[in-house]
Amino acid sequence: MVIRNILKAGLNFIWPLKCHICDIALDPLSDMVFCERCEGGFRRNTLAPSGYINRYYDSVTSPYIYEGIMREAIHLFKYKRDEAAGGRLAELLCETIPDDGIICGADVIVPLPLYKRNLRKRRYNQAMVLAKMVSERSGLPITESLKKHKATPAQTGLSAKKRASNVKGAFICEDARRINGKRVLLVDDVYTTGNTADEASRVLKKAGARSVDVLTLARSL
């Protein structure tokens, strides 16, 4: 431990440890990614997990609100390839889910997939990073049976109606045996209008999923 701390202090002298959001100096012996001020600024979602009428998914759980500093953190993870930020966000997701929440009622985890061209560009799927941490903490298996086989324009700035038509037919289930009869936990980073999650859930239900509960790190208000 002493040698490890000496090495970390030496590395910090060369490459100072800083908050990934505000660049303030961090404790060189810590494993912090965000400073206490930034992490404390992540606004918790106080809305109770709820069901949705006229949707294919059965419920949505999102522990944080997608705004301000949380939005910055997710953008670092999602668009700037900041894997350390992604790792910490995945930890926070797991830390905020109650033991008796939707995880205990699931059989399998399905990360929302990226189109293959986008996956090559980003190098990793942010939903998979979150899903792996949830799997590690819960012991639930992950299946990648759900695939995105159609490129879709960015959803940002589109109306709810256009978002819905944008993702129609974007997903397929390649191995229904891994889904049929299962209670699915669909994992993604952000819940906005719910249209992407709904289309993915439609495909999963068509493949025989008994239920689909959506888990995201944050949601828009």
Domains and CATH numbers, the chain: 1-40 (no CATH), 43-219 (3.40.50)
Q: How far apart (Å, rounded) are the C-alpha atoms in residues 200 and 115?
A: 13
DSSP secondary structure code for residue 145 in this structure: -
Average pLDDT, the chain: 88
Strands 171-173 and 146-148: what pairing? antiparallel
Looking at the chain, the whole-number percentage of residues with pLDDT higher than 90 is 67
The per-residue pLDDT for 152 is 80
Locus of tokens 């990073």: 129
Q: What is the mean pLDDT of residues 53-68?
A: 93
What pLDDT band is residue 166 in, cutting at 50, 70 and 90?
Answer: confident
The per-residue pLDDT for 216 is 96
The per-residue pLDDT for 114 is 94
The per-residue pLDDT for 208 is 98
The per-residue pLDDT for 151 is 81
Interior CA angle at 131 toward 170 and 129, to 5°? Answer: 90
Residues 6+ away with beta carbon under 8 Å from 206: 173
Residue 9 has pLDDT above 60, yes or no: no
Residue pair 112/197 in contact (Cβ under 8 Å)? The answer is yes
The residue ranking higher by pLDDT, 3 or 21, is 21
Q: DSSP of 48-75, one letter per residue?
A: PPB--TT-SS-EEE-SEESSHHHHHHHH
Over residues 71-106, the pLDDT tens digits come to 999 999 999 999 999 999 999 999 998 776 788 889
Residue pair 148/123 in contact (Cβ under 8 Å)? The answer is no
Q: What is the mean pLDDT of residues 105-114?
A: 96
What pLDDT band is residue 128 in, cutting at 50, 70 and 90?
Answer: very high
Residue pair 163/170 in contact (Cβ under 8 Å)? The answer is no
pTM: 0.88
Q: How far apart (Å, rounded) are the C-alpha atoms in residues 105 and 8?
A: 41
The per-residue pLDDT for 159 is 66
Of the candidates 187, 159, 190, the one whose C-alpha atom is nearest the C-alpha of residue 65 is: 190
Helices (H), the chain: 2-14, 36-40, 68-79, 83-96, 116-122, 126-138, 160-167, 195-206
The per-residue pLDDT for 122 is 83
What pLDDT band is residue 12 in, cutting at 50, 70 and 90?
Answer: low
Over residues 32-41, the pLDDT tens digits come to 999 999 999 9
